[in-house]
Each structure stands twice: as structure tokens, then as C-alpha cells.
Amino acid sequence: MACTGLCDLLVQGGMDAGLAQFISLFFGVVLVATVPLLTVILLIWVERKIAARIQDRIGPNRVGPLGLLQTFADLMKLLIKEDITPAAADRLLYNAAPIVSFASVVLIWAVVPFTPYHYGVDLEIGALYFVAVASFGTLAIMTAGWASNNKYALLGAFRVVALLVSYEIPLVFALLVPVLLAGSMSLVDIGYAQAGMWFVFMAPLAMVLFFISSQAETGRAPFDLIEAESELVAGFNIEYSGMKFGMFFAAEFLHVFTNAVLLAVLFMGAWFFPLWQEPLIGFFWLGVKASLLYFISLWLRNTVPRLRIDQVMSFNWFFLVPVSILNLLVTALLVMVMKEIGWVPLDVAGNMALQLGTTLELLPMTVVLFASNVLIMLPIFNRLRRIGREQREAAEVRSRQRLALTPAGD
């Protein structure tokens, strides 16, 4: 096995290669096993506080200072609740579903590079690994709904097929843009490729598409049709109680922050920061970027109302999918053209290597790609504005017609 990351740093310091490899692997396992579990405890408190402030409430404030220990109190309550399994349920699948749901999110962190030296494993197919592992969560939700032997749970599981699977298509097409720019599916390589210029400036449209699709993938508002409490009485997890429900609950909270971390890695320079490229400070900068994106996600969840299922599906198939495909094709074409005219840094083998270019060297390429994103969106925004105006005018006509038909005494 190649010695990379922290292992390489230890070997350079004079440590034996075998021992350095063991320490690197052990540290990676500890990092992946502890960071997500500790993070989700804080995230639950943060989300409750932010939701409370947006809704003009106080939020948790009783258990511990500022309510910081409220999550631990809820955890203890879930642990001592009775473990109930419906008599007609498929016991094996019913009990395995929440474990798979939470594990699918934690396993994503195995390929997340916190710094150039701190990560679980540097897979050459890291982006493909993320898509594959994230789909386990969808499978777990479908399994939970089916194995519960409850019609409401089954309806919630059916919505997974319509929502989560559909939104994986624009998510994958948006993910291919940073993969194309970096010339690698390794998340570590994608981070290194942004040393001179963040991909958000080269592909802002891809980042927006990835953000929207990932928001739908987590089943959060306004895309929370798989739960839809007012329609399905909590949806796929209605038969779950105690810690089994808590695992679904924790997986959802952690998945949102995991997507924010992936967005920071894929589009916002990972551990890099302008004018301060010290890698050992990368963990802090990555956390700041992910927290900002996480806050935007919570902001949307608590301000945008839930969409109807026909609106959600139309938005995906008639907007996100065509735009994501067009954006990928245009980006690939422009990169090929700029490579021919010498605007793209190349390595000794003639392959694109953005990590070798400085900010000034990458500026022409960035301007061209950014302009292409603007040109793609201008006609789309004009079309959406025209559709919105037509719908408002039609609604006003219907309103006037109803007023005209209403008797004067009513």
C-alpha cells in the first residue's frame, strides 16, 4: 500500500515506514469513527436553536447552559424507551434498516479529506464511492417502509423512489464537473486542484445544482415528501420508536452537514483559503466553509414551504436534469478548447493539472467558464420569469371571475 498523507509526513520526519503506515491507518479510523458521531450531537442543538430564532422562539434552554445538554437528555430518553417491533413486520430487515441508514452517512466520511494529511482513505474513485454509499441510505428508507408492514410507511417508501432516486441524476451530473476539472475522482486530488482557484468561481452553476439536489437527497424541506407528517403520519419511519427512530433522526441531521462538507471539498477549495495556504489550519477552514453552507440549508428548511409532489418532480425533470446535462457538456467542450489553445495548465504527460497553475494563470480559464455559466442561466431565468408572470395573470383572471359570479349578498 502506498504511503500517503499523514504516513508520508511521518516518514519524512524519520519514522519507520511500517509504523508510519499503521499510525496513519489507525488515525484515519479514529477520525472517521469519532468526528461524525460527535458532530451530530452538536448539530441537533444547532439546528434547534437556528430554527427557534427564525420562528421567533428561544429553543432548548433548560438542560445545561444554553440548552447544550438537551441532546443528551433526548438520547437518554430514546435509550430507555421500549424497543417495539410490529408483530407482522419482517424482523431482520426492520431492525437492520436504521443501522444501514446511519452507517451509509458515516461511511461517506471515510473519503472526506480534512487536510492534505488527515483523511480516512484516499480512493481513486472517491466521487463514485460517495454516490454508491449515499444510495445505501435510500435503500434503507425503502427497506424500512416495506419491512414495517404498514400502509403509511409503505407510501413513504414509495415516495423515496419518486424523489431521492430522481434527484440523484442531477446530483451526479453536477458532481462530474469538479471531477472533470480536477481530472480525478479522488476527493484529495479535487482539493489539491483548487490550490490556485476554487471551483465555485469556475462552475457556480454546478455547485448550485449539487446543493439543491443534495438538499432533496436528504429529504429536507421543501423536499420532505418522504415524511410529510400531515399526510403520512411521519412516513416511512412511523413504526419505529426508541433508539431505532433516533438512528434515522441522527442520520438525517448528519447527512445534511456531510453534504455541506462535500460541497466545501468539491467547490470551495477544501482546506485551502486565500492568502493563507497553511495545510495544518485546513481543518478549521473546512469547518467554517461547511458551517456556512449548513446554515444556508437550515435557513431554507425553516423558511420555504413544502412543495407538492408534482412540483418537486417537474422541477427535477424539466429543470435540474436538462440544465445539469447542458452545463456538463458545455464545460467539457470549453475545457477541451482551452486545452488546445494553451489556457489550461498541463503536466509532463500532457494531462490537465490545475494544481500546477497559479491564480493568475487560471484566471482566463475561470473567466471563460464563469461566463458560460451566466450565458446558460440568462435564457433560463427569462423563461422562468415569463412562466411566473403568466401564472400570476391566470390566477388574477380566475379570481376576478369568481368575484363576478359571487352574488352581491354573499
Give the start-to-end residue ranges of the domains of the chain.
1-80, 84-318
Average pLDDT score over residue span 126-140: 89
The C-alpha cell 466520511 sits at: 109
Residue that the C-alpha cell 439546528 belongs to:
47
Average pLDDT over residues 296-318: 87
pLDDT value of position 213: 92
Q: What are phi and psi of 276, to 5 degrees?
A: -150, 95
Q: pLDDT per residue over 172-196, tens digit each?
A: 999 999 999 998 999 999 998 998 8
CA distances from 285 to 191, 222, 278, 297 (A): 13, 29, 10, 19
Burial of 390 (0-12, 13-18, 19+ CB in 10 A): exposed
Which of the pair, 316 or 219, is modelled with greater confidence? 316
pLDDT by residue (tens digit) across 223-268?
877 666 556 566 788 889 888 988 988 888 888 899 999 999 999 9
- Amino acid occupying residue 179: V
Please tell me the distance from the alpha carbon of residue 86 to that of residue 156, in angstroms, as a whole number.
Answer: 17
Residue 177 is predicted with a pLDDT of 95
Long-range contacts of residues 358-365, Cβ cutoff 8 Å, at least 24 apart: 358/196, 359/196, 359/197, 361/196, 362/196, 362/197, 363/197, 364/338, 365/202, 365/335, 365/338
Pick from 17-26, 134-143, 224-233, 270-279 the range whose average pLDDT is largest: 134-143
Q: What is the mean pLDDT of the chain?
A: 85
> What confidence tier does 160 reach under pLDDT thresholds 50, 70, 90?
confident
Burial label for 383, CB within 10 Å (0-12, 13-18, 19+), is exposed
CA–CA gap between residue 84 and residue 356 (Å, rounded): 58
pLDDT at 1: 39
CB burial readout 73-91, b (16+ within 10 A) else e: ebbeebeeeeeebeeebbe
Task: Give me the mean pLDDT over the 103-119 stretch.
Answer: 85
Residues near 227 by beta carbon (within 8 Å), at least 6 away in sequence:
156, 219, 234, 235, 236, 237
Question: Predicted confidence band at 2 (pLDDT cuts at 50, 70, 90)?
Answer: very low
Question: Using CA atoms in the order 154, 155, 159, 160, what is the torsion angle rounded to 10 degrees?
Answer: -10
Radius of gyration of the chain (CA): 24
| Cell numbers describing residue 344 | 489550461
Alpha-carbon span 222 to 226, nearest angstrom: 11
What is the residue-wise DSSP string for 48-100? HHHHHHHTT---S-SSSGGGTTHHHHHHHHHHHS-----TTS-HHHHHHHHHH
